[in-house]
Amino acid sequence: MFAAENGLRGDPRLEAISEAIRVVPHFPKQGIMFQDITTLLLDPKAFKDTVDIFVDRYRDMDISVVAGVEARGFMFGPSIALAIGAKFVPLSKPRKLPGKVISEAYELEYGTDCLEMHIGAVQPGERALVIDDLIATGGTFSAAIRLLERVGAEVVECACVIGLPEVKGQCRLNGKPIYILVEPRGIDNCC
């Protein structure tokens, strides 16, 4: 669900967050409108508002794990985890974590990829939130959910800053809700 449909309609923070995201046409390939959140990170107020909205939503949900998807989930996840009193668990690309890991492969439009997590980072029964910057097809979030559920975690919700409009009609992934702050900006309102 989009934040504007869940009590934040007209909240000026959402517009400021959207405006702080740069759109890079035709990156990394022709036809892609890349939603660059690095410009959001350069705006301390918009970055703080982004984290605050997530913290307000999750503060009272008894979440003990915030799992961030590499790499941009690592930018929001630790701040949210600290603010709600949870631990942060990185879900990384292959061979990025030292020590023993468990893995979950998933399909992409152009091939396959994999997420890994340290063995023992999440305990059975822990309540988890999965965070990333953007949801497009849902493949990465689905893999993250499967990975966490394999170790016995209860995934409460997935969250991201940007969600493609097509996702609006599918409010769940693997039966889990998704919370999205803003829709992507297009070329007509990017510069």
The catalytic site residues sit at 72, 109
Positive or negative: CA dihedral 191, 184, 70, 75? positive
Contacts for 96 with CB less than 8 Å, ≥ 6 apart: 70, 116
Q: What are the beta bridge partners of residue 69?
A: 91
Taking the C-alpha atoms of residue 19 and residue 33, their distance in angstroms, rounded to an integer, is 15
Q: How many CB atoms lie within 10 A of CB 158?
A: 27
Contacts for 135 with CB less than 8 Å, ≥ 6 apart: 141, 158, 160, 162, 163, 164, 167, 178, 180
3-state DSSP call for residue 129? strand
Helix (H) or strand (E) holding 34: strand 33-36
